[in-house]
Amino acid sequence: MRVIAAAGLGLAIALGIGASLAAADEPATIGLTLKDHKFAPAEPTAPADKPIVIEVSNLDSTPSEFESKALRVEKVIPAGGKASVKVRPLKAGRYRFYDDYHEDTTEGFLVVK
Amino acid sequence: MLGALIIVFREVIEAGLIVGIVLAVTRGLPRSRLAIVAGVLAGVVGAALVAAFAGAIGEALEGIGQEVFNATILLIAVVMLTWHNVWMASHGRELAADVKRVGEAVRSGSQSVFALGVVCAVAVMREGSEVALFMYGLVAAGGSTASELVIGSLLGVVAGVGVTAVTYLGLAAIPQRRLFAVTTGLISLLAAGLAAQAALFLEQAGILTMLSQTAWNTSWLLSDTSLIGRVLHTLIGYSDQPSVLQVVVYAATLAVIVVLTRTVGSRRPAPVTAQRAAAE
């Protein structure tokens, strides 16, 4: 019983630290639009070591799936819809993203520096 | 047309593999075919509904509805797979040993079969909703190529069903006695992989923020968007750039399933053997 309580407390503290760290760091917000199956801007920039929020507006008449293995993101955005995805703090580098339904035309890179 | 076929096939592979495994795992269990067909049909209906309400689901819970929804249905599948494995550990040997003596096991078995029907429904719903959305987009876009793309998509679905058949026949070729060990292992890895995917969605939603560093990057070796990568992604939960949290969740889920299966499996068969000895 005591062990379970201790484990629970430990978990609560860990979650608390996680939450407070997230709260302390204001995320950088980036806006992207998807039109004619192309991202604009195609190479947005973001600061390193800060959480990032990417807001994607789909201006096309077809649904899209905003996806990036490097950013670990996968989100369906309906036609004419808008969605925001949260991305962990990143190291400097180029991170590829695309619309999974139109991967051939929709390539973009998040440039982190 | 080929493009649509490939996109849809890619989405359907995961559901196809899971249904194929479930078909093989439940071979010989009564009413399992009914449960699986019902599960797949429920999944198709669910997929159409999820696609139709994609906008509303996405906007729910202050914009993280989609992630929470995905994580929830994945975790339901994990629980159902774990339940089935534990059930099989306690009754599987009796089933393999003597089908006639397991009236009791068969009756409780229908619950386990139900659990796997739910797993099929969840797999089809999750992958199918993306297919439905894609096809809905094609139709909405219209144009002269739309009908060709829809045909391509349907062929993609057919190819996905082919994956189910290949998976099932491949597993069915394994002798019954060894099949139990193989499928128990497969289901454990499958469940751990799904739990890691659920963790990813909770990370994306910003609900889980700890251990978000990338554990490793093996995309140069095997990308999880390649065909082999996708198959391994479903079968053993392979990811080319997982977070540390995903790795921890994977290992923890696997450990819990193995411990549960072992403890139940080693405890239950004893009285059965005793009964059998007494009967003979």
B277 assigned to some structural domain: no
A-B contacts (CB, under 8 Å): 81
Domain that holds residue A60: 28-112
* CB interface of B with A, residues 217-246, below 8 Å: 219, 223-225, 240-241, 243
Residue A7 lies inside a defined structural domain of this protein? no
Q: Starting at the edge strand that comes first in sequence, how are the strands of the sheet with A64-68 ordered?
A: A45-46, A107-112, A93-99, A64-68, A73-77
Q: How many structural domains does chain A have? A: 1
**Within 10 Å of residue B177's Cβ, how many Cβ atoms?**
10
**CB-closest option in A69, A72, A75 to B225:** A69
Whether A19 sits inside 8 A of B209 (CB atoms) is yes
Chain A closest-CA separation from residue B253 CA (Å): 17
Domain, as residue range, for B211:
2-267
State the Cα–Cα distance between residues B77 and B66, nearest whole angstrom.
17
Q: How many domains does chain B have?
A: 1
Chain A CB within 8 Å of residue B203 CB: yes
CATH of the domain at A102: 2.60.40.420
What residue in A sits closest to B8 (Cα-Cα)? A101
Name the pTM for this structure. 0.81
Nearest to A84 among B63, B130, B133 (CB): B63
With respect to residue A84, please indicate whether it lies within any of the assigned structural domains: yes
- pLDDT per residue rounded down to tens, chain B (280 residues): 777 888 888 888 889 999 999 998 888 777 888 999 999 999 999 999 998 888 888 888 888 888 999 999 999 999 999 988 888 777 766 655 555 555 555 555 677 788 889 999 999 998 888 888 888 777 776 655 677 888 888 899 999 999 999 999 999 888 877 888 888 899 999 999 999 999 999 998 888 888 988 888 888 899 887 889 888 998 899 998 899 999 999 999 999 999 998 888 765 444 444 444 444 4
**Is A3 domain-assigned?**
no
Is B88 part of a structural domain of the chain? Answer: yes
Tokens of B19: 């249904």
Residue B273 inside a domain? The answer is: no
Q: What is the DSSP letter of A26?
A: P
Identify whether A73 is part of a domain.
yes
Which of A63, A70, A86 lies closest to B136 in CB terms? A63
Nearest by CB to A62, from B140, B203, B212: name it.
Answer: B140
In the beta sheet, which residues pair with residue B97?
A: none
Binding-face residues of A in 58-87 toward B, CB within 8 A:
61-63, 65, 69-70, 72-79, 81, 83-86
Is B280 contained in some domain? no
End-to-end Cα distance, chain A = 48
| pLDDT, mean of each 10-residue run, chain A (113 residues) | 51 51 70 91 92 92 88 88 88 91 87 93
Enumerate residues 6+ apart whose C-beta is below 8 A from B29.
Answer: B95, B106, B109, B112, B113
A28 touches chain B (CB under 8 A): no
